[in-house]
């Protein structure tokens, strides 16, 4: 029974993972990940990690993925264009991943640990239950628990700093004047040296009006 | 099922995630792939936890979930900021810094 | 309600040694206070009180670190070990953060990110570093690792008006997350192989061997080690995991780069020392050659990469890669001397790099191309108080006697020779030879070339732009931006007294400790003793 | 005053003279510099005489005196003190050097009067005399080498005295470099000897040599041969002689000083001084004798065909030095030194006369242009003839007694040395020919234009100065004897020294006449006391037989010259067409210059160019420096190209790193 | 008075000079250098000859963790060199203080730093301290050359110079640390870098070999010897005259001194082992540099390459491993310094007359109008070509004698260099002063007073030394013998070993 469940769940998890990678539309990628996470939760359950499984479904597949969906919706979940660079990576990347997988499997299965071929340690009552986990979090792992809370706070601050709405801006026409690094010509920026993408102000004539225009725009914007 | 099988699955998920990071130019999807890699680690942790009969692995897995959430939050915040700056949501076009 | 209380009742909370914990506590409390104060409305509070509070926090923490210096302790269920190594490195983080706070006093980054947020992130990052280097447990380690990284991702991108800043933030985030994922997978394997998340447990498992034949040659353990190594190496900018470094250093706001370059590196090496030289010391015969090879590659790659750069921050990014290679060699030998040398070099590195980055920040205030070599032309004549610290910093990074850099290299090579890694010592000096090619260019630009004609007014203190910072939003119509742009000291301000001060202090320290290095040696020796190596 | 004090004084005066003249260059007007310089040398001569008297008052056995002032470079087993050796040999040399030099100085007072480098000239001249005296007074090898090299330096300065002439500077450089070769030979020779004796001091060395060296010991022979290199370079012996003819670029008094009294005799002195060594290293001595013989013949053949008046005399000097070297090499020390003395007299005389003649010609030195000066310059003519007769070895002139003394000794010594003696006679014949070729061509026959002018009381003035060597316009700025001529007929300061020398050339031989007296021999005896060869004196009768043969041969030489250039004036042209190849060969000085040029100068120039352009620029700057730089740069470019700025590449690099790292750990597992 | 006073005085004076107004600062620095000179003289006067040990020792622990001492001392090896350093620096500073310099306070500060570093290198008796001073002394020259140098390419050239020489120095750093570390581990003693202690702790042969090569790399690059002289032509061309004079005169000597002070006593086995290698390199330098000096069209480079040749001779003397050779080398260090510095000043004076050009082809013919200059130049030229009678010859004589005793054939080949020296020295003299007036010559006035006051004192020293070279020898005799004794013992050991074998049956 558990074997069947294992196979179903793991095939689901792998399929979800592949879906995340292969699907062109980010929206479907997110949905695919949700599927993957739920299958993973099933695997957790098989491994007697009840609390982890629950957290996985509730917090992860639930809350975090919703955030994803919102962002995808915000920036538009269009299909990504065919990339002009990194063509080689499209082929080589998966091959590498495959090689790495083989390597990891050799490492995991080649170990001398006997437990690897067993079904795990004898089941102890309460293993993986919220109560046990909670107790650990308040005793042995009190410090990580507290730090994790700080970490979440940091992430929240970070999100605020990065994505906070700037007041008075029309939503779609936000065009912040950036403070450009106007470099005189031939100062040897790498972009210039590479000749691929001339940076700002490589042409002084072109950059001059832009500079002059910058304060004017800001004052007229009436922010 | 022997623990080894779980570990193999986790290794495969890890590598699928890695392949995704390498092949997808959309930062959103890259973040998703990173989630995959972290989840692979979670699976391994939970499996080991079961193997040793030791709940530290589960604690670790929960911590990793927290971390994953934090990374996602910040990552999405960055993507939004980039979007607001009207820059392409494409890591292949963010290469002013190089050399 | 009652069952819950009952449940809580029979959980015995671990004993907390508040005294030993106080340096960390000060940081976290300070960070929260700074965050809260940053929400207050008056602009002066944000621009002046917040940095002041940050300084107070850091100063308090520093004082507490010094207080606890000779009282090593394991606290909170053995999650942390506050010992000589941790405290020495904590001092480095704190000093780096102090310098960064001072440099960013009038910088664009805190204004666009919001002072409270910016400074609390900085403090949280310091806290993360402190947690990381004190960690005695894989979980704490990972959390510390993330607590130091995530604020930095945000801070890199905090100057969100600049494309480069955002780009660097995203790059750092993605590559950093790949590194984290690798690390955590590696930690999982280590946990799987040893069945323990505590360092003591790992060491015990390695030495006793819970399975037949021991874990010394176990593929799972070793692969886990490899992945962990990659995670740390990424953070320490070790080649081939260094590629984010130049890009992020260049793109990030200069005060953040200064902090990142010095403190992050110290944190990464702190945990490298703890993990490799203590937890998995028994596998030394396996990892040492790998680490040595990686160190050699890093030294060469970092130094040759820096050669043709024109952006100073990028140049210093590559240079930091090279320096990481130097320091890694101290880890390789896995002797007390090696630990001493690495810690010493971390301290030394702090002085040299903060001086250099402070000068860059100053130059950027003055000219928009202050980060560029061409922008430094004629600095010697124009701003000797910036040019001299930069010169000293460059000479020190090269390893010229009379500066701390010489002392640092001396001790590293000593450790290498002593640990039978003389060849790595030779690679180290070959790297130093190559490094002359770019450090001297910086000096030459300052002293030996005339000021370039096209001088561009610097960013100076940016006029508040709506949406750019909370106070602009709050006051609605504050001062007209045009007027701010017109006032001369706003557009073409000097480098600022505080930046000059930082540059001069750290430059002078680079010389002073180069001539009287004994305090540094004592600190490093303290750190070395903490690990109990031979 | 003690003898050694005189010895130091001999050295002090010229040095003082040199310094005083040089330092006072701004205040010395007129001939004051010349007077000071001459007085210094005269004082030195007086000191020499004082030393002579003082040493004659001592017993024979105590006539070798050393005196040292301070440690010069004494360290770790090297005993180099600032010490002089005063013995009959050094006093003899000092007398000749200071005496003849005094006369030359006096001559120069007038001769150089119109030269704008007057002060410099006397300073150099004094320095030269100081150097030469240092050379002969030196009491150890190191000081000998010092004197040796100073002489070379002084000769360089004097040869390129008119330094705006490229020919002069080139000749000076050549002289100096060849002299340095000699110095090096001397140094290395010293090393060979020092290695075994462990001392640089002469007397100690001489005492040690018979004990530490076996007969013809390899190191000693090598050392002596290297000393011979030094001697050859200084005394213009084949093959290191090529500088001497070129040295005629210097003012005529310089030629007189270098080629008569001082510099070139240094080699002879050296061999005589080192006789205890050479007598043990007989092979080296034989080489010296053969070298001398070869030089005397080669130089004589060249002298016969040269047309430059001073060069003829120069080659004759070489030839005569050849006699001396031959003499002192085989053991005829007193004879060789005797010839050295008489040669100093008559050769100085000849040069002075030639200088006078050249002045009259307005700087022209070619014999082809001179003719018939007999009536216009009677005093010069007489001096020239006296010198010529002495040189040719005609009885009863001094040269006759001295030169044939050497040959007589050769014949007497036997053992194959007779061959050298016979060759010496061949040389004597040629000496007669070339000497009187010169006299007959310059003084006899129809007077040339300049001679006619002079006879009428005018002086010929050349239109503008051209360098006779290159034909380029002279740079008149620095001055030459210039349009104002100084000829013996008009300047008492020139006439007096010439007269004195003329007398000495005639009567100088009385010091040593076989069977009558042996003044030189007896005086020098203490210096050669330990010598086996010095005791080997030819009997009076055999000496006289040799003298008579020599006199006859000299006469024959003069006769031949008379036949060719007076009786049948076209003969020389006929001979030239008949022996054209030989004449060209001789005229081109046996192609020694070309040989050296080909074998030494060109290769080193080529090598220099090669080193500079190929090795220096190509290998060092291009290869080593540039190559290293190139590798580093290429590496740098690679690293920076890999830094594409694309996030996904970075991630890929990282995963490759993960893969590699894991692979390594797996393999080591 | 301790040696620290001597070492740090120049730096202190330079710092004082840097705060004085630009008009009097330079002069103050020059006067200060005279004070330093006086201090040096007082040390030389109080120095007791005839003993090998150190005198005026200052010994303090500098870095206790590493066993590094701040140990200074004078013995026969360095006493004369210290005096020499102060003399040459005074001359260079006098030369410099009589001219106008842009940013002059910085200029003189760099000079003071350089002097302190050089004196420190000469006096230090601790390996690590020596290495520190050795590297440090280069840095002021980077600034001097880059900021006040000549030619458009000066920054590149001076970078090349610094990189080249620091490459050697860094290798030496490794070697020095290895010396201390290995000596302590091989003999189980606490780590020390004090040279006298290290002499008592000989390293294993393999360690000595590679350490020797690293030290040698540092020293031969600094001197420089062929083929490690790639920085020389450009570097010398780029430096301002007082800097190049000091660099060529003094800094190259520190390297040669390093052989005597450190390499021979501390690594005797390797010194004997690599004797032939070092001699071949030195010989190659002599011949190569001589050939280039004979051909190069640039007056300054003639002097530069002549230095290379001279340092080749010095190295020959040192690695003859004979007391005479080493003594000669030490004497020659003094002589060469005293000769080469005035030569650079003279080249500058000549270049001023030929419109700034330092090409020989532009010079010539000024001797007549400039008799004093010509006379001074003549004396220097003759000393340069080591005419017997000059102290240079005494040095060369001893060097060749030592070499002759060690390797006869090499002495013979080396003597070719003596002849070559005559050629290039006279070529320079003739080309600059004689022959026709050069096409570039603008003025032919005689030497100016400000050149005279620099040249004449130095020339007087040359002349005095010519009469009394013993000055440079008597103090050093014992120290030199003690310095080379270990290496000599290594050399003779095989011989005695075989002798013992022969004697036992």
Q: Which of B21, B44, B63, B84 to mutate to test the interface with A (most CBs of A within 10 A)?
A: B84
**Chain C: partners with 3+ C-beta pairs within 8 Å:** A, B, D, E
Distance CA E166, CA E138 (A): 8
Number of Cβ within 10 Å of residue C393's Cβ equals: 30
User: pLDDT tens digits, residue range A76-88?
Assistant: 766 665 556 667 7
Distance CA D405, CA D336 (A): 8
Number of Cβ within 10 Å of residue E499's Cβ equals: 11
Distance CA B59, CA A52 (A): 8
Query: Chain D closest CA to E417's CA: distance in Å?
Result: 10
Between chain A and chain B, the number of residue pairs with CB atoms below 8 A apart is: 267
Report residue A217's pLDDT band, with 50, 70 and 90 as the boundaries: very low
User: pLDDT tens digits, residue range C247-295?
Assistant: 999 999 999 999 999 999 999 999 999 998 888 888 888 889 999 999 9
Distance CA C95, CA C84 (A): 16
Beta strands in D391-474 (DSSP E): none
Phi, psi at D330, each rounded to 5°: -90, -10
Q: What's the pLDDT score for residue D468?
A: 59
Q: What's the pLDDT score for residue C261?
A: 92
Is-contact A107 C189, C-beta < 8 A? Answer: yes
Q: What's the pLDDT score for residue C481?
A: 40
Cis peptide before E224 (omega within 30 of 0): yes
Q: What's the pLDDT score for residue D376?
A: 81
Query: Chain B closest CA to C414's CA: distance in Å?
Result: 34
User: pLDDT tens digits, residue range D259-272?
Assistant: 777 888 888 999 98
Q: What's the pLDDT score for residue E503?
A: 44
Q: Which residues of B touch A84 (CB under 8 A)?
A: 92
Distance CA E147, CA E118 (A): 21
Q: Is D363 helix (H, G, I), strand (E, B) or coil?
A: coil
Is-contact C286 C262, C-beta < 8 A? Answer: no
Of the listed ranges C168-172, C456-460, D136-140, E64-68, the one predicted with least confidence: C456-460
Percent of chain A with pLDDT over 70: 69
Q: What's the pLDDT score for residue A223?
A: 34
**Chain B: partners with 3+ C-beta pairs within 8 Å:** A, C, D
Number of Cβ within 10 Å of residue E418's Cβ equals: 24
Q: How far from B99 is each of C104, C300, D665, CA to CA, in Å?
A: 27, 16, 31
Measure the CA dihedral A90/A96/A100/A101, to 10°: 50
Q: What six digits make up the tokens of E332?
A: 């020659």
Nearest CA in chain D to B26: D648
What ipTM is given for this predicted complex? Answer: 0.86
Alpha helices in E320-443 (DSSP H): 323-353, 371-384, 391-406, 408-433
Block residue for tokens 């070395």: C528
Is-contact E297 E427, C-beta < 8 A? Answer: no
pLDDT over threshold 60, residue D218: yes
Contact across the interface for C429 and E170, Cβ inside 8 Å: yes
Q: What six digits make up the tokens of C45?
A: 């509070």
Cβ neighbours of residue A209 closer than 8 Å, sequence gap 6 or more: none
Cβ neighbours of residue D71 closer than 8 Å, sequence gap 6 or more: D80, D81, D82, E470, E474
Q: Which of B91, B93, B96, B97 to mutate to test the interface with D (most CBs of D within 10 A)?
A: B91
Q: What's the pLDDT score for residue D476?
A: 56
Cβ neighbours of residue E322 closer than 8 Å, sequence gap 6 or more: E401, E402, E403, E405, E406, E484, E488
Number of Cβ within 10 Å of residue D298's Cβ equals: 23
Contact across the interface for A178 and C472, Cβ inside 8 Å: no
Helices E275-295 and D602-609: angle between axes, nearest 10 degrees: 100
Q: Which residues of A touch B59 (CB under 8 A)?
A: 133, 136-137, 141, 144
Distance CA D202, CA D264 (A): 22
Q: What six digits make up the tokens of C522?
A: 């004592």
10-residue mean pLDDT profile of chain E (505 residues): values are: 89 90 86 93 88 87 88 90 93 90 87 93 93 91 89 86 87 91 89 90 90 92 87 89 92 91 91 92 92 89 92 92 90 92 91 84 82 89 89 90 90 89 90 81 80 90 89 85 87 55 42
In this prediction the pTM is 0.88
Report residue A149's pLDDT band, with 50, 70 and 90 as the boundaries: very high
Report residue D355's pLDDT band, with 50, 70 and 90 as the boundaries: confident
Percent of chain C with pLDDT over 90: 54
**Which of E241, E491, E191, E473 has its CA nearest to residue E350?**
E241
Strand partners, E74: E55
Tell me which residues of chain E, numbers 119 to 148, contact chain C at a CB-CB cutoff of 8 Å: 128, 131-133, 135-136, 139, 142-143, 146-147
User: pLDDT tens digits, residue range A12-52?
Assistant: 999 999 999 988 888 889 999 999 999 999 999 999 898 99
Is-contact D312 D306, C-beta < 8 A? Answer: yes
Contact across the interface for D662 and A104, Cβ inside 8 Å: yes
The DSSP call for residue C383 is -
Which of A30, A109, A162 has its CB closest to that of B32? A30
Mean pLDDT of chain D: 85
Mean pLDDT of chain B: 89
Q: What's the pLDDT score for residue D624?
A: 82
Q: What's the pLDDT score for residue D445?
A: 81
User: pLDDT tens digits, residue range D181-191?
Assistant: 999 999 999 99
CA angle D401, D406, D410 (to 5 degrees): 140
Indicate the burial class of D204 (C-beta count within 10 angstroms; 0-12, 13-18, 19 or more).
middle
Q: What's the pLDDT score for residue C8?
A: 57
Distance CA C466, CA E100 (A): 55
Distance CA D567, CA D436 (A): 13
Report residue C341's pLDDT band, with 50, 70 and 90 as the boundaries: very high
Indicate the burial class of D49 (C-beta count within 10 angstroms; 0-12, 13-18, 19 or more).
middle
User: pLDDT tens digits, residue range D6-35?
Assistant: 889 998 999 999 999 888 888 877 788 888
Q: Which residues of D touch B28 (CB under 8 A)?
A: none
Cβ neighbours of residue C60 closer than 8 Å, sequence gap 6 or more: C26, C30
Distance CA C237, CA C176 (A): 11
Rounded to the nearest 5 percent, the helix, strand and coil shares of chain E are 75, 5, 20
Q: What's the pLDDT score for residue C453?
A: 55
Q: Which residues of D touch E422 (CB under 8 A)?
A: 176-177, 180
Q: What's the pLDDT score for residue C490?
A: 39
Block residue for tokens 């001219």: E99
Overall residue count recorded for chain D in this entry: 669
Q: Which of D167, D186, D610, D616 to mutate to test the interface with E (most CBs of E within 10 A)?
A: D616
Distance CA D20, CA D524 (A): 35
Distance CA C348, CA C520 (A): 8
Distance CA A186, CA D219 (A): 71
Block residue for tokens 């689901």: A12
Q: What's the pLDDT score for residue C162?
A: 83
Phi, psi at D70, each rounded to 5°: -155, 170
Indicate the burial class of A178 (C-beta count within 10 angstroms; 0-12, 13-18, 19 or more).
middle
Q: What's the pLDDT score for residue E399?
A: 92
Phi, psi at E57, each rounded to 5°: -75, 135
Measure the CA dihedral C137/C141/C147/C153, to 10°: -170
Q: What's the pLDDT score for residue C103?
A: 92
Contact across the interface for D645 and B99, Cβ inside 8 Å: yes
Q: How far from C69 is each of C90, C424, D507, CA to CA, in Å?
A: 11, 33, 108
Nearest CA in chain E to C441: E159
Is-contact D248 D242, C-beta < 8 A? Answer: no
Q: What's the pLDDT score for residue C347?
A: 93
**Which of E375, E368, E306 has its CA nearest to residue E346?**
E375
Q: What's the pLDDT score for residue E493?
A: 65
Distance CA B45, CA C196 (A): 11
Q: What's the pLDDT score for residue E122?
A: 93
Mean pLDDT of chain C: 85
Q: What's the pLDDT score for residue C6?
A: 56
Percent of chain C with pLDDT over 70: 89
Block residue for tokens 């190929």: D614
Measure the CA dihedral A185/A190/A194/A200, to 10°: -50
Instruction: Supply the DSSP string of A6-74, one letter for each residue.
Output: HHHHHHHHHHHHHHHHH-SSHHHHHHHHHHHHHHHHHHHHHTT-HHHHHHIIIIIIIIIHHHHHHHHHH
User: pLDDT tens digits, residue range D379-435?
Assistant: 888 888 999 988 888 877 888 888 888 888 888 887 778 888 888 888 889 898 889
């Amino acid at each position: 029974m558990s074997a069947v469940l294992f196979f179903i769940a793991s095939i689901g998890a792998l399929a979800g993972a592949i879906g995340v990678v292969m699907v062109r539309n980010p929206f479907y990628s997110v949905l695919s990940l949700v599927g993957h996470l739920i299958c993973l939760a099933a695997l957790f359950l098989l491994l007697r990690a009840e609390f982890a499984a629950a957290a996985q479904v509730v917090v992860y597949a639930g809350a975090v993925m919703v955030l994803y969906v919102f962002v995808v919706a915000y920036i538009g979940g269009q299909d990504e264009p065919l990339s002009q660079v990194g063509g080689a990576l499209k082929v080589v990347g998966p091959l590498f991943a495959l090689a790495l997988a083989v390597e990891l499997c050799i490492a995991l299965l080649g170990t001398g640990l006997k437990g690897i071929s067993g079904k795990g340690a004898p089941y102890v009552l309460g293993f993986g239950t919220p109560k046990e986990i909670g107790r650990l979090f308040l005793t042995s792992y009190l410090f990580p628990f507290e730090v994790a809370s700080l970490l979440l706070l940091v992430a929240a601050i970070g999100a605020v700093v990065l994505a906070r709405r700037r007041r008075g801006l029309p939503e779609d026409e936000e065009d912040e004047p950036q403070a450009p690094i106007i470099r005189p010509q031939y100062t040897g920026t790498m972009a210039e040296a590479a000749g691929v993408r001339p940076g700002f102000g490589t042409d002084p004539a072109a950059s001059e009006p832009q500079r002059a225009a910058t304060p004017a725009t800001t004052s007229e914007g009436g922010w | 099922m022997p623990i080894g099988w779980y570990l193999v699955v986790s290794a495969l998920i890890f590598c699928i995630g890695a392949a995704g990071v390498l092949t997808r130019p959309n930062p959103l999807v890259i973040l998703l792939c990173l989630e995959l890699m972290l989840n692979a680690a979670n699976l391994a942790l939970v499996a080991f936890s079961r193997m040793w009969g030791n709940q530290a692995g589960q604690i670790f897995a929960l911590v990793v979930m927290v971390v994953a959430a934090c990374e996602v939050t910040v990552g999405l915040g960055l993507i939004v900021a980039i979007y607001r700056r009207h820059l392409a949501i494409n890591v292949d076009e963010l290469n002013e810094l190089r050399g | 309600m009652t069952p819950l209380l009952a449940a809580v009742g029979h959980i015995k909370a671990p004993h907390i040694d508040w005294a030993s914990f106080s340096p960390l506590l000060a940081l976290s409390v300070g960070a929260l206070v700074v965050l809260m104060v940053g929400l207050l409305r008056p602009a002066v509070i944000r621009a002046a009180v917040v940095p002041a509070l940050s300084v107070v926090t850091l100063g308090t923490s520093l004082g507490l670190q010094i207080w606890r210096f000779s009282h090593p302790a394991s606290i909170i269920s053995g999650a942390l070990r506050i010992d000589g190594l941790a405290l020495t490195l904590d001092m480095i983080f704190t000093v780096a953060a102090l310098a960064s706070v001072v440099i960013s006093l009038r910088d664009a980054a805190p204004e666009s990110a919001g002072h409270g947020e910016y400074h609390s992130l900085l403090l949280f990052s310091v806290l993360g570093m402190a947690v990381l280097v004190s960690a005695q447990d894989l979980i704490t380690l990972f959390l510390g690792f993330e607590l130091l990284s995530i604020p930095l991702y945000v801070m890199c991108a905090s100057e969100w008006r600049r494309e480069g800043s955002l780009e660097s933030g995203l790059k750092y985030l993605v590559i950093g997350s790949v590194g984290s994922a690798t690390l955590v997978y590696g930690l999982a394997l280590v946990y799987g192989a040893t069945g323990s998340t505590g360092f003591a447990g790992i060491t015990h498992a390695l030495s006793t061997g819970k399975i037949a034949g021991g874990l010394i040659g176990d593929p799972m353990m070793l692969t886990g080690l490899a992945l962990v190594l990659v995670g740390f190496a990424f953070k320490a900018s070790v080649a081939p995991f260094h590629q984010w470094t130049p890009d992020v250093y260049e793109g990030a706001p200069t005060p953040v780069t200064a902090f990142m370059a010095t403190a992050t590196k110290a944190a990464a090496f702190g945990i490298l020392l703890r993990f490799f030289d203590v937890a998995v010391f028994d596998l030394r015969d396996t990892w040492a050659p790998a680490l040595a090879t990686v160190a050699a590659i890093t030294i060469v790659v970092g130094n040759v990469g820096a050669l043709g750069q024109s952006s100073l921050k990028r140049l210093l990014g590559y240079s930091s890669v090279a320096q990481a290679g130097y320091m890694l060699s101290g880890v390789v030998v896995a002797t007390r001397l090696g630990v001493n040398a690495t810690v010493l070099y971390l301290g030394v590195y702090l002085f040299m790099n903060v001086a250099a980055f402070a000068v860059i920040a100053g130059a950027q205030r003055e000219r928009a191309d202050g980060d560029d070599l061409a922008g430094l032309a004629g600095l010697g004549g124009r701003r000797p108080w910036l040019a001299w610290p930069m010169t000293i910093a460059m000479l020190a990074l090269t390893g010229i006697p009379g500066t701390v850099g010489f002392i640092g290299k001396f001790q590293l090579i000593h450790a290498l020779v002593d640990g039978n890694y003389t060849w790595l010592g030779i690679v180290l000096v070959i790297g130093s030879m190559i490094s002359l090619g770019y450090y001297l260019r910086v000096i030459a630009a300052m002293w030996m070339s005339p000021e370039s004609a096209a001088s561009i007014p610097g960013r100076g203190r940016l006029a508040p732009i709506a949406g750019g910072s909370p106070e602009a939003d709050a006051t609605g119509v504050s001062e007209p931006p045009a007027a701010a742009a017109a006032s001369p000291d706003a557009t073409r301000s000097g480098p600022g007294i505080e930046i000059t001060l930082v540059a001069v202090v750290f430059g002078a320290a680079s010389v002073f400790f180069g001539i009287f290095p004994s305090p540094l040696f004592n600190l490093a020796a303290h750190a070395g003793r903490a690990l109990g190596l031979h | 005053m003690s003898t050694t004090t005189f010895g130091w004084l001999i050295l002090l005066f010229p040095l003082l003279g040199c310094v005083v003249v040089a330092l006072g260059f701004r205040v010395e007007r007129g001939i004051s510099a010349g007077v000071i310089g001459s007085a210094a040398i005269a004082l030195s001569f007086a000191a020499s005489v004082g030393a002579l008297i003082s040493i004659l008052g001592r017993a024979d056995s105590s006539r070798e005196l050393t005196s040292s002032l301070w440690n010069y470079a004494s360290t770790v087993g090297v005993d180099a003190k600032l010490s002089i050796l005063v013995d009959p040999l050094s006093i003899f040399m000092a007398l000749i050097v200071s005496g003849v030099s005094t006369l030359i100085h006096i001559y120069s007072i007038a001769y150089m009067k119109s030269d704008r480098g007057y002060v410099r000239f006397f300073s150099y001249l004094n320095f030269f005399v100081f150097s030469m005296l240092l050379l002969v007074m030196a009491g150890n090898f190191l000081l000998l080498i010092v004197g040796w090299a100073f002489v070379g330096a002084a000769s360089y300065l004097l040869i390129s005295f008119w330094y705006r002439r490229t020919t002069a500077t080139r000749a000076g450089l050549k002289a100096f470099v060849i002299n340095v070769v000699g110095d090096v030979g001397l140094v290395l020779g010293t090393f060979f000897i020092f290695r075994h004796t462990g001392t640089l001091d002469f007397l100690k060395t001489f005492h040690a040599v018979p004990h530490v060296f076996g007969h013809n010991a390899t190191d000693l022979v090598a050392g002596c041969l290297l000393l011979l290199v030094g001697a050859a370079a200084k005394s213009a012996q084949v093959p290191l002689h090529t500088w001497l003819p070129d040295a005629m670029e210097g003012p005529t008094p310089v030629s007189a000083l270098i080629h008569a009294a001082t510099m070139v005799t240094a080699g002879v002195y050296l061999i005589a001084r080192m006789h205890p060594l050479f007598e043990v290293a007989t092979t080296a001595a034989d080489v010296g004798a053969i070298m001398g013989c070869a030089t005397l013949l080669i130089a004589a053949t060249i002298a016969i065909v040269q047309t430059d008046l001073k060069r003829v005399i120069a080659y004759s000097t070489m030839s005569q030095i050849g006699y001396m070297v031959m003499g002192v090499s085989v053991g005829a020390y007193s004879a060789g030194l005797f010839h050295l003395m008489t040669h100093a007299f008559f050769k100085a005389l000849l040069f002075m006369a030639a200088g006078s003649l050249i002045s009259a010609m307005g700087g022209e030195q070619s014999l082809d242009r001179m003719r018939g000066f007999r009536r216009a310059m009677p005093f010069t003519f007489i001096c020239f003839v006296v010198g010529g007769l002495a040189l040719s070895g005609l009885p009863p002139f001094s040269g006759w007694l001295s030169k044939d003394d050497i040959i007589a000794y050769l014949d007497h010594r036997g053992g194959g040395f007779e061959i050298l003696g016979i060759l010496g006679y061949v040389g004597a014949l040629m000496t007669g020919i070339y000497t009187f070729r010169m006299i007959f061509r310059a003084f006899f026959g129809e007077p040339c234009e300049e001679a006619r002018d002079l006879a009428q009381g005018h002086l010929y003035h050349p239109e503008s100065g051209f360098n006779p060597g290159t034909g380029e316009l002279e740079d008149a700025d620095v001055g030459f004897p210039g349009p104002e001529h100084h000829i013996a007929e008009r300047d008492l300061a020139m006439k007096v020294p010439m007269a004195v020398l003329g007398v000495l050339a005639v009567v100088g031989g009385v010091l040593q006449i076989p069977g009558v007296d042996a003044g030189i021999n007896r005086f020098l005896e203490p210096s050669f006391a330990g010598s086996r060869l010095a005791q080997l004196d030819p009997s009076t009768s055999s000496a006289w037989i040799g003298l008579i043969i020599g006199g006859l041969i000299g006469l024959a030489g003069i006769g031949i010259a008379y036949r060719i250039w007076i009786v049948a004036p076209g003969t020389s042209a006929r001979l030239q067409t008949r022996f054209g190849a030989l004449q060209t060969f001789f005229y081109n000085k046996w192609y020694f210059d070309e040989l050296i040029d080909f074998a030494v100068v060109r290769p080193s120039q080529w090598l220099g160019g090669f080193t500079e352009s190929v090795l220096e620029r190509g290998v060092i700057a291009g290869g080593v420096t540039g190559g290293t730089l190139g590798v580093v740069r290429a590496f740098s470019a690679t690293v920076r190209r890999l830094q594409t700025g694309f996030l996904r590449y970075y991630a890929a690099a990282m995963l490759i790193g993960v893969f590699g790292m894991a692979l390594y750990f797996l393999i080591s597992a | 008075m301790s040696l620290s006073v001597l070492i740090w005085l120049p730096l202190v004076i330079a710092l004082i000079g840097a705060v004085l107004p630009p008009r009097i600062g330079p002069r103050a620095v020059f006067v200060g250098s005279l004070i330093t000179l006086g201090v040096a003289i007082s040390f030389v006067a109080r120095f007791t000859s005839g003993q090998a040990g150190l005198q005026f020792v200052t010994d303090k622990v500098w870095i206790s963790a590493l066993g590094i001492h701040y140990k200074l001392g004078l013995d026969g090896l360095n006493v004369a060199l210290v005096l020499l350093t102060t003399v040459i620096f005074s001359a260079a500073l006098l030369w410099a203080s009589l001219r106008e310099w842009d940013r002059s306070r910085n200029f003189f500060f760099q000079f003071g730093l350089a002097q302190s570093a050089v004196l420190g290198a000469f006096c230090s008796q601790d390996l690590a301290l020596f290495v520190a001073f050795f590297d440090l002394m280069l840095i002021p020259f980077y600034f001097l050359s880059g900021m006040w140098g000549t030619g458009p390419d000066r920054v590149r050239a001076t970078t090349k110079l610094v990189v080249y020489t620091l490459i050697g120095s860094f290798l030496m750093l490794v070697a020095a640390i290895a010396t201390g570390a290995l000596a302590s581990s091989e003999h189980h003693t606490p780590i020390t870098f004090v040279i006298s202690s290290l002499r008592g702790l000989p390293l294993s042969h393999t360690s000595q070999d590679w350490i020797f090569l690293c030290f040698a790399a540092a020293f031969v690059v600094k001197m420089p010897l062929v083929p490690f002289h790639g920085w020389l032509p450009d570097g010398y061309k780029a430096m301002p005259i007082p800097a190049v004079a000091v660099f060529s005169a003094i800094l190259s000597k520190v390297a040669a001194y390093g052989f005597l002070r450190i390499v021979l006593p501390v690594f005797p086995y390797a010194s004997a082992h690599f004797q032939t290698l070092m001699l071949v390199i030195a010989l190659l330098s002599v011949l190569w540099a001589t050939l280039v000096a004979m051909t190069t069209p640039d007056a300054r480079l003639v002097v530069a390459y002549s230095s290379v040749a001279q340092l080749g001779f010095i190295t020959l003397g040192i690695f003859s491993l004979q007391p005479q050779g080493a003594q000669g080398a030490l004497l020659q260090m003094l002589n060469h310094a005293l000769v080469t510095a005035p030569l650079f000043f003279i080249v500058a004076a000549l270049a001023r007359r030929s419109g700034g050009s330092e090409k020989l082809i532009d010079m010539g013919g000024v001797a007549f109008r400039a008799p004093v200059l010509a006379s001074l130049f003549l004396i220097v030229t003759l000393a340069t070509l080591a005419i017997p009678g000059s102290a240079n010859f005494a040095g060369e004589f001893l060097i060749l004698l030592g070499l002759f005793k060690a390797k006869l054939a090499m002495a013979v080949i080396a003597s070719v260099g003596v002849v070559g020296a005559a050629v290039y020295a006279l070529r320079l003299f003739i080309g600059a002063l004689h022959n026709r007036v050069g096409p570039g010559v603008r003025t032919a006035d005689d030497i100016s007073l400000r050149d005279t006051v620099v040249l004449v004192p130095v020339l007087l020293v040359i002349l005095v030394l010519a009469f009394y070279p013993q000055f440079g020898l008597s103090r050093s005799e014992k120290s030199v013998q003690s310095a080379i004794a270990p290496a000599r013992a290594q050399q003779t050991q095989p011989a005695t070993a075989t002798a013992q074998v022969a004697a036992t049956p």
